[in-house]
Structure 1
Amino acid sequence: MDALYQDRKLVDVYDAINSSREDFDFYISELPVPPATVLDIGCGTGTLALDIANRGYEVTAVDPAYQMIARAMQKDTSQTVTWVTGFVSDLANNLTFDVAIMTGHAFQCLLENAQISALFEAVEKRLRRGGSFWFETRNPASRPWLRWTPEYTAPPFDLGGGRTVEVVHQILRVNDDCVTFEERYNFSDDNKALISRSTLRFLELREIEALAVKSGLIHSQTFGNWSREPLMDDSPEIIIRLMKAA
C-alpha cells in the first residue's frame, strides 16, 4: 500500500492537501432523498462519509488502509458512520445499499481487470434493484500525467500553526495504461522529505463498460467534468454511473 495511505504523518495532512469540494458536491447532489443507505468505497479519512451521514443518510464506509479508517473514526465523534477496514467483498452479503460511491480516483488503484471485476461483482451483490454506483477516473485521452512534474508543483499547502507542506511529483515510468510516479512531501518544519510511490491505471470508458456488463451492471450516465459537461477528448474526468438492473 502506498505510503500516502499508511504513513501516519501523511495521513494527518491528507485533508489539507485534498480540500477541493467539487467531487463531493457532485456526488451529494446525485443521492436520493434521505433517509437512504449509502456505501462509501475507499472512504479515506471519512470527510465525505461524515458529510453524507450528517444529512440524514445511513452510511457505511470502507477502506483497506487502517490508518485512514483510524483517522476517520477520530473525526466521527458522534459515531454516525459504520467504519470498515477492508474491501466491499468483506461486507456481509445481506447488507444492501441504495447508492455506492467511490471518490478520489480510488478506482485507478485497481491495476488488473480481475480486481475491477471483483469490485463490480461485490458492489452489484450489495446494490438494491435500481441502485447506482458512481465513481470517476482521470481521462487517459487528456494525458494528465504530463503535468505530474516538478515544473508544475503547486504552492505549499497551509497546515496551520505556521507549518506548510510542498508536494512535488515526478513520473517514474509509463507502461501501457499504467503510470508510476513519486510524490515527495517537503515539510517546512522537517528537513527530511517523505516519499510515496504510486501506480495508477488509466482505462478508457469502453474498457470499463465491458467489465461492468460482465458483472451485471448497466452503464447509465457519463460526464467529463464536475459541471456535468459531456465527455470529450480533452475532458479531465470520466465520471460514471453504473446501475443494477431493476
Structure 2
Amino acid sequence: MFSDADAAALYDLLNPWDPEQWPADRFFDELLMAAGSVLDVGCGTGAMLHRARERGHGGRLVGLDPDPAALARARRRTDVEWFKGAAADAAWDAEFELALMVSHAFQCLVTDDDVRTSLAAIHEALCVGGRFAFETRHPQARVWEDWNLSHASDVIDAGGRALRVWNEVESVTGDVVRFRGITAEPGGPLLRADRTSLRFLDVGTLDGFLAEAGFVVEARYGDWDRGPLTRTSREIITIARRAG
C-alpha cells in the first residue's frame, strides 16, 4: 500500500523548502518574513510556514489547503493556524498583509469560475494595499513536454523503500494539461497514480482575471532573480496589490 500519508511525506522529500538552496523559495521567503500577517493558500505540508516560525517570524501565519494528509503533516507545528479548504473557501475579511500561492499552486485553478472565486476570496482576505504573490509556469516554455518516464526521479523514502516518481501527460486541451503523477518501484509495479489538471494561463488572460478581482499588478518577473518577463521566460511571477 502507498497511502495518502505516504504521498504527503514523499512530497516533502522531493520538494524540500530551502530558501538557501532554491531561488524560488528565497523569493517567497523574503516576502513572507517582511510581512506581519500571512495567508499561505495551498500550504500543502506547511513547510514554508514551519521554516518561517523556526527563523523567528513573530506575526500571524495561516495555512489553507484541501488535502487532509498534507494538513496532518502541517499540523505537527501548532504555532501556526491551519484550515482545510480550497482558495475559494478563504473567508477572512481584510486580515492579512500578504497572501501567497507557491509551488505553482495557482495552476490548480483550472476553470474560469475557479480563478474568479479564488481571486475574489483572496482579495477579501487582504487588507487594502495588501499583496498577493504567486507564480505560474509560462505556457511558451511548454514544460509538460518533459513530463515523462525519461525524466523520472529515483528516491529512497523515509521507510527505506526505493521509489521511482514521474509525470505522464494524458491530454493537452487549450491551456489545460491533464497528467498522472506516477509512483512505482524501480523496474517494478506501479504503487500509485494521481490524476491532476493544471492550467497554463498567458499573461493577458491572467491580468484580466486579476483586474476583474480588484488587483493591480505591482511587479512582474520572468525569473527568480527578478529579471523582466521575456519571450524565453519559463515563469510568470506576479506580485499584485489589493487596490480597494
Q: CA deviation at 1:229?
A: 1.6
Contact 2:179 2:196 in 1 (8 A): yes
Q: TM-score, normalised by structure 2?
A: 0.89
Per the alignment, do residues 32 and 151 of structure 1 end up closer, same or farther by CA in structure 2, a change over 3 Å counting? closer
For 1:221 and 1:60, the matched residues in 2 are separated by 24
Structure 2 SS opposite 1:230:
coil
Give CA-to-partner distance per residue, 1:80-103, whole Å, 9 cap, x none. Answer: 100000134444444510000001
- Partner Cα distance (1:98, 1:7) in 2: 33
2: CA distance between counterparts of 1:138 and 1:104? Answer: 10
AA aligned opposite 2:45? T
Separation in structure 1 between the aligned mates of residue 176 and residue 91 of structure 2, nearest angstrom: 32
**Per-residue Cα deviation, 1:80-136 (whole angstroms, up to 9, x for no partner):** 100000134444444510000001111111111111111111111111121110011
Tell me the distance in 2 between the aligned counterparts of 1:127 and 1:174: 34
Shift of residue 222, structure 1, vs aligned partner: 1.1
Say if 1:219 and 1:242, in contact at 8 Å, map to a contact too: yes
> In angstroms, what is the RMSD of aligned CA positions?
2.2
Find the counterpart in structure 1 of residue 134 from structure 2: 135
What is the aligned residue count?
Answer: 237
Q: Once the two structures are superposed, what CA deviation does each residue of 1:194-223 show, in whole Å capped at 9, x if it has no partner?
A: 111111110011111101111111111111
Over residues 25-63 of structure 1, what are the superposed CA-to-partner deviations in whole Å (9 max), with x where a residue is unaligned? 1111123636x0000000000000112233323101000
SS at match of 2:40: strand
* Unaligned 5+ runs, structure 1: none
Residue 224 (structure 1) aligns with: 222
Cα distance in 2, alignment partners of residues 189 and 19 from structure 1: 26
TM (normalized to structure 1)? 0.88
What are structure 2's unaligned runs of at least 5 residues?
Answer: none
The alpha-carbon distance between structure 1 residues 143 and 50, as it changes in their structure 2 partners (threshold 3 A), is: same
Cα pair 1:37 1:58 within 8 Å, conserved: yes
Distance 1:11 1:93 in 2: 27
Alignment-derived partner of residue 49 in structure 2: 49
Aligned to 1:39: 39
